[in-house]
């Protein structure tokens, strides 16, 4: 797939440092060519990355990045031959680097300017049904047996597999969708993730240049939202079933055959193993992992990694039996206190 965003550059390291407001560490080659922005784990010698969270210090130790945005006090953590780009705000510098390399990422292409509902460059296999009012953008592809319902939008370079159903008023951009996928009405897929470099002078938007990958046999309920990845992809594993009104943040990875019930919220970069079940209104904080086969009770919220096969409940989520004992203990305490209270005077 050719991707969804055009990349500028390459730029000399000195130009990158100037654009992001960083200082080059001593001995750095200002002419080093930088071609892209990548995460620490994926970066190569021509890429710039960043560290803003000590949780990822292990990735910094093994990174192959050509340069890394980092606070001066942590510069000693940068391994050779990676160059340290010194800044008090590495995440803000990362955002500025993305603006430099992807200047159009904040205004993504959707339908093009051909003036017709189905762009002539779209590849439509025989047997596709496109209902009145649907829009198919330039470079999109739709496999045979799929139906695009009235008012749906299939954006620029989006790929829809075979025998899939896109419901009315659904919007799909920056996404690759597999076979036999059902996307119900009002679903929003591939919009920006919630990424801002917060600061006293305002909040700088962080361009989101990843994609959404939806594997085969997935079903997504009405009015659910799945954000595209920031640098990597948001991934929904095959056979997973998602209920109505679910929010899935950027870079989330969901395994195969998971069940996610209505009004759940998965924060950015959280990961679910295969066959995970999340009850209604359950939630995850960002950057945690839920092991295969785990279950999170409705209305519960996990803030730490969840082991495979665990059953969790409460806020913050804890093992289900412990949670149930705590609730029972509170109920018993409340009853004893009620019996000890003096009756109200008339």
Is the CB of residue 46 less than 8 Å from the CB of residue 65? no
**Residue listed under structure tokens 């198919």:** 136
Sheet of 129-130, strand order: 129-130, 147-148, 165-166, 182-183, 219-220, 241-242, 259-260, 277-278, 295-296, 311-313, 318-319
Task: Show the DSSP H helices in the chain as ranges.
Answer: 13-20, 57-62, 90-101, 320-340
Q: Are strands 271-272 and 33-34 parallel, antiparallel or unpaired?
A: unpaired
Structure tokens at 223: 């009015």
Question: 128 to each of 144, 149, 210, how far by Cα in Å?
Answer: 5, 11, 27
Structure tokens at 76: 């000693």
List the catalytic residues: 250
Q: How far apart are CA 257 and CA 151, in angstroms?
A: 29
């Amino acid at each position: 797939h050719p991707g969804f965003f055009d990349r500028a550059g390459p730029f000399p390291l000195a130009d990158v440092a100037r654009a992001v407001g960083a200082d080059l560490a001593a001995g750095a080659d200002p002419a080093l060519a930088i071609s892209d922005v990548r995460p620490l784990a994926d970066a190569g010698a021509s890429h710039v990355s960043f560290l803003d969270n000590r949780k990822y210090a292990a990735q910094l130790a093994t990174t192959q990045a050509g340069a890394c945005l980092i606070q001066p006090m942590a510069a000693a953590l940068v391994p050779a031959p990676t160059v340290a780009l010194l800044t008090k705000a590495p995440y803000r510098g990362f955002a500025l680097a993305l603006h430099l390399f992807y200047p159009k990422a904040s205004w993504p292409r959707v339908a093009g300017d051909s003036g017709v509902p189905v762009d002539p460059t779209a590849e439509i296999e025989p047997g596709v049904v496109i209902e009145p009012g649907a829009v198919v953008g330039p470079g999109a592809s739709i496999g045979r047996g799929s139906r695009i319902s009235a008012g749906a939008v299939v954006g620029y370079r989006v790929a829809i597999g075979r025998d899939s159903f896109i419901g009315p008023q659904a919007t799909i951009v920056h996404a690759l969708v597999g076979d036999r996928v059902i996307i119900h009405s009002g679903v929003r897929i591939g919009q920006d993730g919630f990424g801002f470099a917060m600061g006293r002078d305002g909040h700088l938007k962080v361009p989101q240049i990843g994609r959404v990958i939806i594997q085969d046999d997935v079903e997504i309920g009405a009015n659910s939202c799945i954000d595209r990845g920031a640098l990597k992809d948001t991934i929904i594993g095959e056979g997973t079933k998602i209920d109505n009104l679910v929010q899935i943040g950027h870079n989330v990875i969901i395994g195969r055959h998971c069940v996610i019930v209505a009004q759940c919220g998965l924060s950015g970069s959280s990961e679910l193993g295969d066959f995970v079940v999340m009850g209604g209104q359950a939630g995850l904080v960002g950057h945690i992992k839920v092991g295969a086969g785990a279950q999170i009770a409705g209305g519960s919220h996990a803030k730490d990694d969840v082991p495979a096969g665990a059953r969790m409940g409460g806020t913050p989520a804890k093992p289900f039996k412990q949670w149930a004992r705590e609730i029972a203990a509170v109920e018993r305490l409340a009853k004893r206190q009620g019996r000890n209270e003096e009756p109200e005077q008339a």
